[in-house]
Amino acid sequence: MPAGPPDFRLGNVLATSFTGTLSERHGDPVERIPTPQRLVDWLVVNGLAVDSCTTAQLELARELRESIHAAATAAAIHDPLPASAVRVINDRSMAGRAAAILTPEGSRRWRLGSASCVEDALGVIAADAISIIAGERDGKLALCASPTCRAAFFDTSQSRTRKWCDMNTCGNRQKKARFNANQRKNKR
C-alpha cells in the first residue's frame, strides 16, 4: 500500500461519508474498507482514532454502513425506514460510550471510551446517522444521480438541488459521458 492517507471519499457528514466506503453500489462495487486496518485508517482520518480492529468489529462496521445506507436511501425517497436498519443503527448507537468534548480552540471532538474501542467509534457514526435521518440538521438527504452509484448524501447547498455525491467523481464522470456522447453525435 502506498504511503500517505488512504483514498477515501470524504463528505460533509460522517454517516454518509461512512456509507461511501462502499462505492459504485449499482455498478462494479468498490469496497474501501476491505480489511480491519483500512477501517482503522478511515476512522483515524475522520477523527475517531482507534488503535486496532478485529475482523468481527469490521463486520459490525459493515453491517452499520449498510443499515445507514438503507435508512438514508429510504428517507431520501420518503419511504418507510427499514425496521432492521433502524434496529442496527440504534443498537450501534447505544453500544458506544463516546463523549463529545470541547477543545481549547472551541471545536468539538469525540473522546472514545478506549483507544481500541471500535464500538465507540461506530456509536458516534450511528448517532450522526440518527441526527440526519431524523431531520435534526440543516440539509436534505438525497441520492446520487449517477446510475451506478446512487449513494445517499447530505445536501447542504443553499438550493438543496445537488445531484452528485461527489462532483470530482460521479459528477465529472457523468459530465464526461455527456460530452463524449455529444461529440459522437456531432461527428455523424
In tens, the pLDDT along 129-155 reads 999 999 998 899 999 988 888 888 998
pLDDT above 70 (res 4): no
Spatial CB neighbours of 106, under 8 Å, sequence gap ≥ 6: none
Of the chain, the percentage scoring pLDDT greater than 90 comes to 53
Tell me the three state secondary structure of residue 2: coil
pLDDT for 1:
34
- pLDDT, tens digit, 9 for 90 and up, residues 54-99: 999 999 999 999 999 999 999 999 999 999 999 999 999 999 889 8
pLDDT above 50 (res 158): yes
pLDDT for 12:
62
Please state the pTM of the whole predicted model: 0.83
- First-to-final CA distance of the chain: 45
188 alpha carbon, distance to own chain's centre: 43
Selected residue with higher pLDDT from 115 and 91:
91
Averaged over 24-41, what is the pLDDT? 94
pLDDT for 11:
44
> Cα dist. 135→62, 112, 140, 156, 175 in Å?
24, 25, 8, 12, 31
pLDDT level of residue 115 (50, 70, 90 thresholds): low
Selected residue with higher pLDDT from 186 and 73:
73
pLDDT for 113:
83
Residue closest to 22 by CA, chosen among 147, 162, 152, 142: 152
Cβ proximity of 10 and 45 under 8 Å:
yes
pLDDT for 5:
39
Sequence spans of domains, the chain: 14-134
Residue 91 CB neighbour total at 10 angstroms: 16
Average pLDDT, whole number, for the chain?
Answer: 87
Cβ proximity of 128 and 15 under 8 Å:
yes
Strands (E), 103-149: 108-111, 140-143
